[in-house]
Homo-oligomer: A and B are copies of this chain.
Amino acid sequence: MPKRVILVYTAGMRASDTAYTALQEDILEGRLAPGTVLGEVGQSERLGVSRTPIREAFSRLIAAGLAVQHPGRGTVVSDISLEDVDRLFEVRIPLETQAAGLAAQRGTPEVFTALAEEFRQAKLAPEAESHYKLAARMDEAIDTSVGNPYLSTMLANLRVHLIRVRRLAKDQPERLAESAAEHRDICLGIASGDSQMAEAATSLHLRRSLAYISELRQAEPVPSP
């Protein structure tokens, strides 16, 4: 007897996709804290699907680095802390710098002048949610301008982890305003077609972001688990 048919099959949406999306959100939003053990049966009951799609979702989580597989203890949500920020930026800085430089060579300037204008306005009224939305749109514009799937994939993988550390380091309004100004500089550099300017602006922005987080970390030592 079918015990429960919670999910009517949404059009074109596989159960494994919905499970992965739900799990990823739960991890990124912190509802599933690092160290949480994810049992296949437990999650299958929680999400109302069978173990098979859950397994698929777990595989993708592990591939994305959001979970790790423990030998006999199941898969657990991967740990992350402000310590990881240094290692993440060691990858992020060269990749995004490269992306900005290539976007300057290949992008259509109008797109980025428009984005620069948006950042100018955003600087006046800093607000975290809209700021990150706008930054994401800039990243997307850079991605499409560069037109390199390998680079885009790497950056996408990276951004997942950056979202997690962002939760740990709450931005303050003045930093958001600074960040908006730096984003504007990047857009202007790309729009001008000067790849070196775009690279410099990107490098500057990321190093300032890193410095901000670093001093935040020094000021507020890690809360012991």
Contact = CB atoms under 8 A, between A and B. Distances in A.
A148 B94 contact: no
Q: How many copies of this chain?
A: 2
Interface of A: 52, 55-56, 59-60, 63, 65, 84, 87-88, 90-91, 93-95, 97-98, 102, 146, 148-151, 153-154, 157-158, 161
B148 A90 contact: yes
A80 B52 CA distance: 31
A150 B59 CA distance: 18
Contacts of A158: 150, 154
B87 A150 contact: yes
A87 B56 contact: no
B148 A91 contact: yes
Given A63-B63, A95-B95, A151 B56 contact: no
A63 B65 contact: no
Contacts of A151: 87, 90-91
